[in-house]
Amino acid sequence: MRKPIIAGNWKMNHAPAQAATLLAQLIPLLHETACDVVVCPPFVSLSETLSLTRGTPIAVGAQNCHIEKSGAFTGEVAPDFLAEMGVRYVILGHSERREYFGETDAFINRKVRAALSCGLIPIVCVGETLAQREDGVTAELVSYQTRAALAGLSPAQVGSLVIAYEPIWAIGTGMTATAADANTVIGIIRGQVRKTWGDAADMIRIQYGGSMKPGNAAELMAQPEIDGGLVGGASLNADDFAAIVHYQAERNA
């Protein structure tokens, strides 16, 4: 059985003081969880977040990292720096990094390798735009992105990481793929992993990353292929994020 994983991507929100306020509200709500919980603050709030979550069920992730350990890369952060701080996860290949910063599949693959080399767990994002969805190329696209991002990895490495399927058309728009549609695409991603890396498909956890909210979390998480959520806006509200983490209570209500 794959343990569910709910991760909050704070994006460029919450400087250290705001991060402390949110965590003070969130931590008491998550003293007991049935899934892995991750929060991913901006770089400037990592130290505060790591300090405040120590001894809690909450793990900390970063939103990006560079491919090199050190060097003349002004403004970048090496994965080794994150690992030394105590960061456990790192989001890679997010659609905003691809769109706004021109990150290619090959570059994302180098980041995945770099992160794994220093013990970080990548959360690798794949997903289609609305135009690509309407053109009927979703299956082909997510399969290619998966192969490209994980190229050259061993089955054990692939099985240890996380993929987040983020339908780009559903991010920040309030639109959400139906639970059945999300399950179908995540099944395609898992099928590609099985085709290329065999039994790693049974170990790798694949999240849904398109506007997961308290109102739809239980339905999404009931799908057999969906192992968690990469949560955006709802992760900035303690009650909403906790409700998503405790989706099983909603399902059993």
pLDDT in tens, 198-241: 999 999 999 999 889 999 999 999 999 999 999 999 999 999 99
Cβ neighbors of 51 (< 8 A, separation 6 or more) are: none
pLDDT of residue 72: 98
* pLDDT mean across residues, the chain: 95
Q: Taking Cα atoms as reference points, which of 87, 98, 106 lies closest to residue 125?
A: 98
Per DSSP, the residues of 58-89 read EEEEES---SSSSSS-TT---HHHHHHHT--E
Tokens of 65: 């990292």
Tokens of 16: 């250290």
For the segment 131-154, the average pLDDT, to the nearest whole number, is: 95
pLDDT of residue 158: 98
Cβ neighbors of 148 (< 8 A, separation 6 or more) are: 105, 106, 108, 109
pLDDT of residue 1: 81
Whether the CB-CB separation of 235 and 39 falls below 8 Å is answered with yes
Strand partners, 59: 38
Q: Where are the domains of the chain?
A: 5-252
pLDDT of residue 226: 98
How is the chain split among helix, strand and coil, in percent rounded to 5? 50, 15, 35
**What CA–CA distance (Å, rounded) separates 215 from 213?**
5
Single pTM value for the model: 0.96
Q: Which residues are catalytic?
A: 94, 166
Residue 159, pLDDT above cutoff 70: yes
Whether the CB-CB separation of 127 and 209 falls below 8 Å is answered with yes
Report the percentage of the chain scoring pLDDT > 70: 97
The terminus-to-terminus CA distance of the chain in angstroms comes to 23
Residue 4, pLDDT above cutoff 70: yes
pLDDT of residue 251: 60
**What CA–CA distance (Å, rounded) separates 168 from 99?**
10
* Type of residue numbered 13: N
- Residue 86: how many other CB atoms lie within 10 Å: 15
Find out if CATH 1.20.1260.10 is the number for domain 5-252: no
**What CA–CA distance (Å, rounded) separates 153 from 197?**
9
- pLDDT tens track for 11-61: 999 999 999 999 999 999 998 899 999 999 999 999 999 999 999 999 999
| HSE-up of residue 175 (Cα within 13 Å, Cβ side) | 11
